[in-house]
């Protein structure tokens, strides 16, 4: 079965009629065309509850495309369940119907009626008839067709029985973008509706009303603002149906809904060990070579840098890495090999060598980004006898021993993916 593009629309699509006064009714056919074989559908229609109303008997699915054997999965009007239960998209001014065929049977009909929706006029005004979300499913092959995967095109409509000036009221033009386009949990997403415009004479945009499809970090699922730019942080890995409703100064509303695919991203870039070719009883003038590793435990590729410095502040070198995706108990590694430290003109003592990992990516783990090891420089003996006193030699040995233990403790700790919760 190829992923055909179905079209879901309302008939009649646009109604401009001043004779439709309070108490009048509208009958809308919610129809589909060019659909592949389906075994179920789930659909939400949104309307302005200040202008139109719906009751528990507003939905009629006789003659629907699935046939008389179709079973009701959910029927919800104004966030009140008629059959089944209501979900996150249900609210005042939303009608939902979900039907399915038992056994995953499918229909081969490519066009037809999904259901009829009868709405009553409350007062004069303007109401968008917004297909908030449409899902068509094939239960046999477990294929889901919806606007998230661009396999369903929806065509909104409107009802108006009021003039704005000398012509029927018109809807604002609603447009918004968001960055990043595929955000991760906890990332700040910037939504920009600056391209939205009022279209009625002498009208301006009054309010931007965002629907986040969740309650997260004490932010309500609906958030009004007078400004076109807003940020939001999502709490879960899922596809959210984010809606922007723009209201102009005449009270005319229009809504646009876009899917936002929020992913789970875990970022942890750590050091991967450190080795020296000379460490104890090293004479000044010896070139010590340092080899250090880097490890990407993340669920995505990461660019990172490994830097080596001496405790005196001397910069010994750095190297940048482009590390492939790791994660799930795996990691990708890199090596910064044979970095030289010329110990000429350095006084005898124990020196600490620090290795640090850095990345511009936000890190989920922050306590495994650096490690240290130690090098013991001693006075070169004259005539085969060390010029250091027994006390000095013993003192250096203790310092090196304690430092080495600290370094080994760091090197032998478990990788971050074994310690940190995913």
Would the pLDDT of 291 be above 60? yes
Please check whether residue 212 is in contact with residue 242, taking contact to mean a CB–CB distance below 8 angstroms.
yes
Question: Same domain, yes or no, for 24 and 115?
Answer: yes
Percent pLDDT > 70 in the chain is 88
What H or E segment, with its residue span, contains residue 141?
Answer: none
- Same domain? 392 vs 310: yes
pLDDT at 243: 95
Domain total in the chain? 3
Residue 318 falls within a domain, yes or no? Answer: yes
Q: 231 versus 395: which is more confidently predicted?
A: 231
The confidence score (pLDDT) of residue 378 equals 95
Q: Which of 18-27, 196-205, 262-271, 300-309 has the lowest mean pLDDT?
A: 262-271
What does the pLDDT read at residue 88? 87
60 lies in the same domain as 131: yes
The CATH number for 369's domain is: 2.60.40.10
Residue 218 in contact with residue 266, Cβ under 8 Å? no
| Domain end marker among 214, 234, 264 | 264
CB atoms within 10 A of CB 255: 19
Q: Is residue 140 assigned to a domain?
A: yes
> Which of 64, 104, 107, 59 shows the shortest CA–CA distance to 84?
59
Whether residues 276 and 340 share a domain: the answer is yes
Q: In this predicted structure, which of 61-65, 67-71, 102-106 has the lowest mean pLDDT? A: 102-106
Nearest to 354 by CA among 316, 408, 320: 316
Same domain? 153 vs 192: no
CA distance 70 to 42: 12
Q: pLDDT at position 225, please?
A: 97
Mark which of 128, 161, 194 sits at the end of a domain: 161
CB 58 within 8 A of CB 11: no
What tokens were used for 282? 């090293």
In a domain, 241, yes or no: yes
pLDDT per position as a tens digit, 213-237:
998 888 999 999 999 999 999 999 9
Beta sheet of 269-276, edge-to-edge order: 269-276, 287-296, 332-342
Same domain, 254 and 280: no
Exposure pattern of 74-101 as b/e (b: 16+ CB <10 Å)? bbbbbeeebeeebbebbbebbbbbbbbb
Domain boundary among 106, 131, 161: 161
Query: Is residue 292 very low, low, confident or very high in pLDDT (cuts 50, 70, 90)?
Result: very high
Asked whether residue 185 falls in the same domain as residue 220, the answer is yes
> What integer best gives the mean pLDDT of the chain?
88
pLDDT at 399 over 50: no
Domain enclosing residue 335, as ranges: 269-416
Interacting residues of 329 by C-beta distance below 8 A, sequence separation 6+: 417
Q: Domain containing 145 — which CATH number?
A: 2.60.40.680
pLDDT of residue 184: 85
41 and 117 within one domain: yes
**pLDDT surpasses 70 at 336:** yes
398 in a domain, yes or no? yes
Evaluate if residue 415 carries a pLDDT over 50: no
Sign of CA dihedral 160, 164, 165, 167: negative
In a domain, 392, yes or no: yes
Mean pLDDT, range 30-54, rounded to an integer: 96
> Tell me, what's the pLDDT at 383?
62
Say if pTM beats, i.e. exceeds, 0.95. no
pLDDT at 160 over 90: yes
Assess whether 62 and 137 both reside in one domain. yes
- Let me know whether 148 and 240 are in one domain: no
Q: Is residue 422 part of a domain?
A: no
In a domain? residue 421 = no
- Report yes or no on 166 lying in a domain: no
Quick one: which of 329, 322, 328 has its CA closest to 294? 322
Looking at the structure, do residues 142 and 177 belong to the same domain, yes or no? no
337 and 239 fall within a common domain: no
Nearest to 362 by CA among 237, 294, 268, 279: 268
Find tokens 């100064």 and name the residue. Answer: 249
How does pLDDT run across 303-314, given as a tens digit for each residue? 999 999 999 999
**Cis? peptide before 186, omega within 30° of 0:** no
Q: What is the pLDDT of residue 412?
A: 41
For 414, half-sphere exposure in the C-beta direction (CA atoms, 13 angstrom radius) is: 6
Whether the pLDDT of residue 364 is over 90: the answer is no
> What pLDDT digit, counting tens, does each position of 119-128 carry?
999 999 999 9
């Amino acid at each position: 079965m190829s992923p055909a593009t179905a079209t879901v629309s309302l008939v009649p699509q646009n109604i401009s009629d001043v004779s439709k006064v309070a108490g009048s009714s509208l009958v809308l056919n919610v129809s589909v065309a060019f659909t592949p074989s389906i075994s179920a559908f789930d659909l939400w229609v949104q309307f302005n509850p200040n202008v139109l109303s719906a009751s528990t008997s507003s939905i009629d699915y006789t003659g629907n495309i699935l046939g008389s054997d179709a079973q009701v999965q959910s029927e919800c009007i104004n966030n009140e369940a008629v059959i089944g239960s209501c979900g996150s998209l249900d609210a005042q001014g939303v009608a939902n119907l979900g039907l399915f065929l038992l056994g995953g049977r499918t229909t081969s009909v490519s066009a037809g009626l999904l259901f009829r929706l009868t709405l009553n006029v409350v007062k004069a005004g303007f109401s968008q008839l917004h297909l908030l979300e449409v899902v068509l499913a094939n239960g046999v092959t477990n294929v889901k067709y919806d606007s998230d995967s661009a396999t369903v095109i929806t065509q909104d409509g409107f009802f108006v029985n009021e003039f704005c000036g000398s012509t029927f009221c018109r809807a604002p033009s609603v447009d918004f973008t968001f960055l990043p386009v595929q955000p991760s949990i906890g990332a700040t997403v910037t939504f920009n509706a600056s391209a939205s415009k009022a279209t009625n004479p002498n009208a301006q945009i009054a309010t931007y009303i965002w629907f986040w499809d969740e309650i997260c970090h004490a932010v309500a699922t609906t958030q009004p603002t007078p400004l076109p730019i807003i940020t939001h942080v999502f709490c879960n890995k899922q596809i959210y149906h984010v809606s922007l409703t723009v209201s102009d100064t005449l009270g005319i509303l229009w809504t646009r809904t876009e899917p936002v695919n929020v992913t789970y991203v875990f970022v942890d870039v750590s050091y991967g060990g450190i080795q020296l070719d000379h460490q104890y009883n090293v004479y000044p003038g010896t070139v010590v070579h340092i080899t250090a590793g880097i490890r990407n435990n993340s669920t995505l590729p990461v660019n990172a840098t490994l830097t080596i410095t001496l405790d005196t502040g001397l910069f010994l070198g750095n190297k940048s890495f482009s590390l492939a995706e790791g994660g799930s108990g795996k990691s990708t590694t890199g090596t910064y090999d044979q970095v030289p430290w010329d110990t000429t003109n350095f006084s005898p003592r124990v020196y600490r060598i620090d290795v640090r990992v850095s990345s511009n990516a936000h890190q989920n783990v922050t306590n495994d980004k650096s490690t240290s090891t130690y090098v013991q420089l001693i006075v070169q003996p004259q005539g085969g006898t060390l010029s250091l006193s027994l006390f000095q030699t013993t003192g250096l040995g203790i310092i090196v021993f304690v430092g080495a233990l600290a370094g080994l403790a760091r090197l032998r700790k478990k990788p971050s993916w074994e310690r940190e919760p995913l």
